[in-house]
Chains A and B, each alone.
Chain A
Amino acid sequence: MTSTLPSPAYPLEKAQLDNGLRVVLAPDTTAPVVAVAVHYDVGFRSEPEGRTGFAHLFEHMMFQGSEHVGKAEHPKYVQAAGGIFNGSTHPDHTDYYELLPAGALELALFLEADRMRAPKITRENLDNQIAVVQEEIRVNVMNRPYGGFPWITLPPVAFDTFPNAHNGYGDFSELEAASLDDAEDFFEKFYAPGNAVLTIAGDFTVDDATKLVERYFGDIAARAVPIRRSFAEPVRAQERRSELVDKLAPRPALAIGYRVPDPDTDLPAFLAHFLLTDVLTTGDASRLERRLVQDDRSVIGVSSYLGTFGDPFDQRDPLLLTIEARHAAESPADGIVAAIDEELERIATDGLADGELSRVRARVASGLLREADDALGRALALGAFELHRGRPQMLNELPAMLSEVTGDTVAAAAAALRAQGRSVLELKAGASS
């Protein structure tokens, strides 16, 4: 059964500069704002052994100055133009972005080009940002309950190889060992224009933007583009379990990781897993909310998602579908896992209920429209689709693709989760209350 879902229809233009930089333009005059995003094809899965956390540290260094821009001036130029900015490091890419009033497009392109050409990295700034990143890790991981659970702690249970298993935030001693040579090598290898995608979304004309892009990025010298490594690992047949004690947590928690199909080679099956996460845990009518929260009352909250940070489309294979729950000490993890198994079996065997798939799809489609209404959300999605799939138009096509997912393929996705050796991580509460 297919149904017609409303889909966005943003006009798109793709181009490539002589130096290899891929460019995606998405003009839209709804509001006088413009978003600029640069995605580099390197994330923490690519950082060298002995330098955990380096991809993220390097992201910080990209704000520390470049050929014509002084330390910490990049944020000042953007903000003094009325804009906002940030960057973020993912498993397979690092993005940098600005959202500004439309008249500041040229400034943003200048700033991104200047640091793509040559960030200026000094020992003093590197030491400063190592300290800042350590505070970031303390605030997000070490000084709070459930810090890093499960995005840092589940991968070493689910994976065996360094790229997939290691902590992307990094080990303090390895961060402190970072050198200027490391930074130079990393930039030289991974920040070539041919390894990046520039996306502009919002209020501009294609002619103007094309000229500006050529003016600022055109003379950045082409460099060798690294051969993309495979991070493939076999899907295990045997379950693997692990546990940790969180000294600050007042209640236990549980994370289960399952491997999902490679979105590059089997997108329909991957999308079935995507919709399965909504069937399982989105809203009061979802399967696990009903079973675990409303009926068994065994968990305080449950969620499920694809990808390390919950964005199904910003990562390549291998990646996980994660089910996460926090629960009272009186309801042990084994019972919760068994109930999840039963619910997956039920979907695998009986399929979905009448209307279940269409309501889940309707909600997912309107969520995608909502994210795309924001020029920055649009630019980030387009850039990631171009970088990882070579198809920025997936932003417009996704609702139609989701319309083609059937109840049978969602049931098959549930069966595939049951058939494999999942990874179970239990967090034991180390704090009383």
Chain B
Amino acid sequence: MTTTTQRASLIPAVRPTVPAQLPTVVERTLPNGLRVLVVARSSVPLVELRLRIPFTGLGADYAARTELLAETLFTGTAKRDRVQIATAVQALGGSLSTGVDADRLAVVGSALATNLDPLLGILAEVLTEASYPDDEFGGERDRVVEDATMALSQPGVIAREALLGRMFPGHPYGSVVAEPAVLAGVSVDAVRDLHAARISPRGAILTLVGDVEPAAALDAVEAALGGWSGGESEAMPPVPALTTGPILIVNRPGAVQTNIRLGGGALDRRDPGYPAQRLANTIFGGYFSSRLVDNIREDKGYTYSPRSSVDNYLAGSRFTVAADVATDVTGPALLEILYELGRMAVLAPSSEELEAARQYSVGTMALGSATAAGLASTLSGLAGAGIGVEYLRDHPAALTKVTAEEVLAVAARLLAPTRLIAVLVGDAEKITGAVAALGPVTAVVDGSAGS
């Protein structure tokens, strides 16, 4: 391998980068239960705001109510209408938006740092006095129904819904997009009741990162939100044990691609095996330099952006694989994906692969907290799982110690193809034959949303 040696001597060495100092988090829990985290960071004269409120609940109707609450939270209060709220936020150089999933309701915002007090004032007004005006609610409900209909026509969404439905049957994690018909049946009173019961400081966490003085920011939060009150949140039921089974094909006649998705369980961030799992995922399909990309993109040209990920939710983490491939190579692409998963499960990675994945994971964690917005989102997500800022120091340290044998052990448990559920969205007539050669296929279901 002379060429490699010669080449290696030309490639400049990477100098070790001194890690950023661990951010100093100043914290206070208000008497009403709201936990507040503040980090001073003066790179830009802005403040980033992240509020998470536990929002667990059961059933499709509950999920539809949470979606409509999130979409209409800012449409009016006892004092201001929708346009007045938006006008006031914009004048602060600010924005406030909402998002909801099975774990939490999130309010994400930012503003010029000098406007923190009025931003908190608007937030408090909405949390304690949102009125959900009848006409605004009716209009928004119609719009959200249409939005959901359009989302469900996207093949990527169809594939995700089918996979989650198989992974988490009967559990709040089993669907992300509420059914249009269920959304259409939600009343404004049901959303007002939901607000009264669940928009509560108990268990909620507010994270502020920006050009602020922490003690003053904590006082400002206490002044604005100290009077907010509410009830207890519900506990998330445990996720059902994964039941593997035949490959599910969702038929989308005429589709020029097949959306291949595989999913299974994963260790959560507090598990001692988590660092090894992170590197196993990275080596398999978690970055461009992975085996999955090398094989089905750079070698075979079957797909544009194949990938895998570990995603963390409160009741359990999950591992997923995704590749959108040309219809006529669906069988070959699935074969290669299963081969690469199997290889992870029975053979240890090379030391070069392990080292590259380790450096990537450590380096990109640092990149993710290099901006105020990135740091705020990271800290808020960690805090929601009960994990502190020290994770930003301890997790990279743990990654440096992972061995190839540990990666193999975790991959054997979690990446083995026999431990995963497979869902394919594509033209069933064209792909079923090849797919059935690789494993049993269940009855095809119709997923031709809209056609």
Contact = CB atoms under 8 A, between A and B. Distances in A.
A145 B86 contact: no
A131 B82 CA distance: 49
A235 interface: no
A285 B96 CA distance: 13
Contacts of A100: 363, 367
Nearest to A286: B86
Interface in A182-237: none
Interface in B15-47: 15-20, 43-46
B95 A144 contact: no
Contact of B43 (A32, A373, A431): A373
Nearest to A108: B12
Contacts of B302: 131, 135
A81 B370 contact: no
B437 interface: no
A89 to B, nearest CB: 14
Contacts of B409: none
Interface stretch (B217-225, B352-360, B384-392): B352-360
A406 interface: no
A139 B324 contact: yes
B288 interface: yes
A76 interface: yes
Interface residues of A, number: 83
Given A82-B363, A251-B150, A362-B92, A294 B324 contact: no
A250 B304 contact: no
A183 to B, nearest CB: 17
B86 A81 contact: no
Given A129-B301, A366-B94, A373-B43, A283 B288 contact: no
Contacts of A430: 451
Interface in A80-130: 80-85, 99-104, 106-107, 109-110, 127-130
B43 A366 contact: no
Given A143-B257, A359-B90, A370-B373, A132 B363 contact: no
Contacts of B403: none
Contacts of A365: 93
B301 A132 contact: yes
A99 B254 CA distance: 40
- Classify chain B: how many residues form its interface, as a range: 35 or more
Contacts of B241: none
Given A82-B359, A84-B367, A363 B90 contact: yes
A419 interface: no
Contact of B94 (A32, A363, A374): A363
A82 B360 contact: yes
Which of B14, B20, B74, B256 is packed against the most chain A CB atoms within 10 Å?
A: B14
Given A32-B19, A101-B366, A139-B305, A366 B93 contact: yes
Given A138-B256, A143-B324, A285-B83, A68 B363 contact: no
A286 B95 CA distance: 13
B360 A362 contact: no
A358 B87 CA distance: 11
Contacts of B143: 293, 297, 300-301
Given A283-B95, A284-B74, A362-B91, A372 B44 contact: yes
B380 interface: no
- Kindly name the residue among A106, A251, A359, A430 whose own CB sees the greatest number of chain B CB atoms within 10 A: A359
A355 B450 CA distance: 44
B17 A104 contact: yes
Contacts of B18: 32
A79 B287 contact: yes
Interface stretch (B49-57, B120-128, B291-299, B335-343): B291-299
Contacts of A433: 149, 152-153, 449-450
Given A75-B288, A370-B373, A138 B94 contact: no
B363 A431 contact: no
B11 A110 contact: yes
A12 interface: no
Given A72-B298, A139-B324, A249 B450 contact: yes
Contacts of B86: 283-286
B2 to A, nearest CB: 14
Interface in A235-250: 247-250
B10 A68 contact: yes
Q: Name, among A30, A85, A139, A286, the residue most crowded by chain B CB atoms within 10 Å (CB to CB).
A: A139
A398 interface: no
Given A79-B288, A132-B297, A366 B46 contact: yes
Contacts of A300: 143, 146-147, 150
Nearest to A293: B143
Given A30-B370, A431-B450, A359 B87 contact: yes
Contacts of B369: 31
Contact of A82 (B12, B288, B362): B362
Contacts of B7: 68-70
Nearest to A278: B90
Interface string A315-330: 0000000000010100
A250 B149 contact: yes
A391 to B, nearest CB: 21
A375 B254 CA distance: 44
B136 interface: yes
Interface string B146-185: 1101101111100000000000000000000000000000
A71 interface: yes
A67 to B, nearest CB: 9
B289 A79 contact: yes
Interface string A289-316: 0100110010011000000000000000
A77 interface: yes
A162 B94 CA distance: 42
B450 A250 contact: yes
Contacts of B85: 284
Contacts of A76: 289, 356
8 contacts: A32-B366, A80-B360, A133-B304, A143-B155, A294-B83, A355-B87, A359-B87, A431-B450
Given A369-B45, A431-B451, 17 more contacts: A75-B288, A82-B359, A82-B360, A110-B11, A139-B305, A142-B256, A143-B155, A143-B257, A247-B254, A248-B153, A249-B150, A284-B75, A285-B87, A286-B86, A293-B143, A362-B92, A370-B373
- Give the 7 A-B CB pairs with smallest separation, nearest first: A82-B363, A131-B301, A431-B450, A103-B15, A366-B93, A284-B86, A101-B17
Interface of B: 7, 10-20, 43-46, 74-75, 82-83, 85-87, 89-95, 110-112, 136, 139, 142-143, 146-147, 149-150, 152-156, 254-257, 287-289, 294, 297-305, 324-326, 355-356, 359-360, 362-364, 366-367, 369-374, 449-451
